[in-house]
Structure formats: structure tokens, C-alpha cells
Homo-oligomer: A and B are copies of this chain.
Amino acid sequence: MSEQSRPPKLGRVATYAGQSLEVLRGMILDGTLAPAERLNEVHLSQALGISRGPLREAIQRLASEGLVEAVPHRGVYVRSFSARELSDLYELRIALETHAVRLAARYAPQQRIDELGSMLDETESSMGVHATSAYPEDPDFHARLARLAANPPLVEALTDVGRRIRLARARSAHQPRRARTALDEHREILAALVARDGEGAAAKLESHLTSSLNNALAVLRAAEPD
């Protein structure tokens, strides 16, 4: 067991397992597979036109992303989140993302920050047309913000948390009013970032995410007030 060699460069090739992963993730996040629903391997593999092997691999990865929960010998279920779990996820996200923005304020090259600004401009101009995007906290802004920290493991962790949050608040989809507010808050965060004010950006980001959480919680409780 000493077969020395170095990992090759990544040469992406399509694989059924990989494709199924993306399809299933989409089905979960857009509600085709509802929370608490059980995934039947036979039915799903037939629906996707593949065998159970690759499907099981895809499901496995979904479990590691926290989108489904697998119980040995009893099947896998789309995760459903309580209000408490949603709060926990947001708290984690706040810790990660405020740290990311502090790093970005210190180390991010000016150009990348400017790109974020022009991205916001595009979002705003397309806003009048499409009325609103499907999701107020457009993941793009936050994902790009995270990447400015230039810390791959941090980005990875935030991606996972982001996906779970998106699933947890799937029902509270579009909220036109909040989308407008969110854009303004994004601009404030960016302004602090341009000024290289890490603490200020972190503070604005935290309040932004906190109000986003409160909004989600309100919708959640309105849906099931028990």
C-alpha cells in the first residue's frame, strides 16, 4: 500500500452520478421533492433513467450537504427544518460570512470589489423588468462576497450552509419588498468594503442577515403557527 503519485489536474467528465446530483439538488430546492418526503430509490432511478448505483452515490452527497437525511435500512428523507434549526444555520452563516467580509476588506484586490458593484447595478436594472428574482437574498452576491476572502474551505462551508438555508426557507420564496431592501443593504455592505472598513462591513452584514432571518422566521411561523 505505497503507490506514490500526485493527484492529476481536474479533467471534468460527465458522469451519471454527478448529473443526478445536480438534478436531485434542483428538485429538492425547488420543492419538487418536498421536505420530509421519502426518496424511493427504485422510483427515482427509473424516473432519471439510470440504475440505483449512481443514484445512491448522488443521494449520498446530498446527505453530506445536509439536504437529506439517511437512516440505514429505512430510507432517506428530504430534511425539514424547525425554526430553531433555521436560527442555528443563520447564526453559523453570520459567523462565517462576517469573517469572510473582514478578510475581504483586508486582502481583496480592488478590481474584484468593483466587479461586485457593477453586478449590483445589473441586478437593479433587471429588477424593474422581472419585478423580482425568485429569492431575495440573491445567492450570487453573497457567494461572490465569500470568494473575496480567498479561503477555499471557508467558501465551501458557506456554500453548504447557504444550500441548507435555502431549503429551510423554500416556502417563503419571493418577497418583492424585501428584495428591494436587500439590494440597498448589499450596497451599504459594499460601500464599507470599498472603504476597507472591515468592522463596518461586518456589522452591516450581520444586521442584514439578522433581518433576513427574522423575515424567514415570520413567514415560517405564519405558515404553521403551532
**B-contacting residues of A (Cβ < 8 Å)?**
1-8, 10-13, 15, 18, 32-34, 36-38, 40, 43, 47, 53, 56-57, 60-61, 64-66, 69, 71-74, 77, 80, 85, 88-89, 91-92, 95-96, 99, 103, 151-154, 156-157, 160-161, 164
Contact = CB atoms under 8 A, between A and B. Distances in A.
With most chain B CB atoms within 10 A of its CB, the pick from A32, A57, A92 is A92
A71 B5 CA distance: 14
Within the oligomer, what is the number of copies of this chain? 2
A37 to B, nearest CB: 6
Nearest to A15: B72
Contacts of A64: 60-61, 64-65
Contacts of A153: 66, 85, 88-89, 92, 161, 164
A6 B36 contact: yes
A168 to B, nearest CB: 11
Nearest to A36: B6
25 contacts: A1-B43, A4-B34, A7-B71, A8-B71, A11-B74, A12-B72, A13-B72, A13-B73, A15-B72, A18-B72, A53-B53, A60-B60, A60-B61, A85-B152, A88-B151, A88-B152, A88-B153, A88-B154, A89-B153, A92-B153, A92-B157, A95-B99, A153-B161, A153-B164, A157-B161
